[in-house]
Amino acid sequence: MLKGMEVKKIVIDDNIINSRDVQSVIQPVWWSVSIYDGEERYESDLAPFTLPQRYVFAIQWYQAEVNNGGHCQFYDNPTGIVWEDAMNGFIAIGAKKNADIIKDSAARMGGKPSKDQVKRQEQMDKFEQDFDELDTRFYESEEEMTELLFAYIEANSKDFIFTGEVIMPVEF
């Protein structure tokens, strides 16, 4: 186990789900799924989790990256591996504007951004896209999307229930 990490028992119950703290709700997925080690590892790590957990996990990564540095940062970093899950997640929660933004960003990268970070970076270089307009559309839709995300979690609460052990940083 890595230094500074420990095995912790995590319980995601109705109280956590009703807290409307999305990051707490997906904590088991957040600490269990690697976005850094390629598509095979990503898929393998996600296997024990439900589709709603997968979608919310991807949406959280997408939001974090686009809010921090726009679509360029999202696709350039390992997080770009979640693009399709985030798009499907937005469709599932009813956030059509956000799903359209990801579809538009994917189209600007040839239609299907690679799940491999190096190949995705090569796509970005090849297509030399400017995502500023998509970044602005995303920022303008965020408040509505957040409410849709909360409603989705509440409507699918049974899919977020979790009791188990997770390797995570000591300070959490």
- Per-residue model confidence (pLDDT) at position 141: 87
Residue 44 is part of which domain span? 5-169
Predicted confidence (pLDDT) per residue in 32-64, tens digit:
999 999 999 999 999 999 999 999 999 999 999
* CB distance 55 to 92 below 8 Å: yes
Domain at 74, CATH number: 1.20.1420.60
pLDDT digits (tens, 9 = 90+) for 118-163: 999 999 988 887 899 999 999 998 778 888 999 999 999 999 999 9
The mean per-residue pLDDT over the stretch 2-7 comes to: 85
Nearest Cα to 129, choosing from 161, 104, 154? 104
Q: How many domains does the chain have?
A: 1
pTM of this prediction exceeds 0.75: yes
Predicted pLDDT of residue 105: 96
**Closest listed residue to residue 10, CA positions, set 41, 47, 49, 59:** 49
